[in-house]
Amino acid sequence: MEINIKNKDGFLTTKYEYDENDQPHGYWENYYPNGVVSRRGYYEHGKVIGEWTTYWENGNIMFIGSFNDKPIGKWTWHHPEGEINEKEFYL
């Protein structure tokens, strides 16, 4: 089931799906109060999976990284202006 939560100004704050056990499952998206996407990714029966992207309030990417219920693989961090700040690798 998909749920959409809005703030008092009518902007989405969270959009998500959950499974029959009320665990996050499927696409998940959070928003800043002004309606700009702050983060997006996927859950699988309550576990964070796949690539997640988090954004600065100006819409530029803050970081991109993957999960398999914990951080895995290459993560890239960016400055608010968009330049790459740092790269990390999780095992």
Q: Average pLDDT by consecutive 10-residue portion of the chain (91 residues)?
A: 85 89 93 92 96 96 96 97 95 90
Task: State the pLDDT at residue 8.
Answer: 86
Task: State the pLDDT at residue 57.
Answer: 94
Beta-carbon neighbour count of residue 1 at 10 Å? 10
Q: What is the CATH number of domain 2-90?
A: 2.20.110.10
In the beta sheet, which residues pair with residue 44?
Answer: 47
Model confidence, pTM: 0.86
Per-residue model confidence as pLDDT tens digits over 47-69 = 999 999 999 999 999 999 999 99
**Nearest-CA neighbor of 75 among 63, 59, 85?**
63
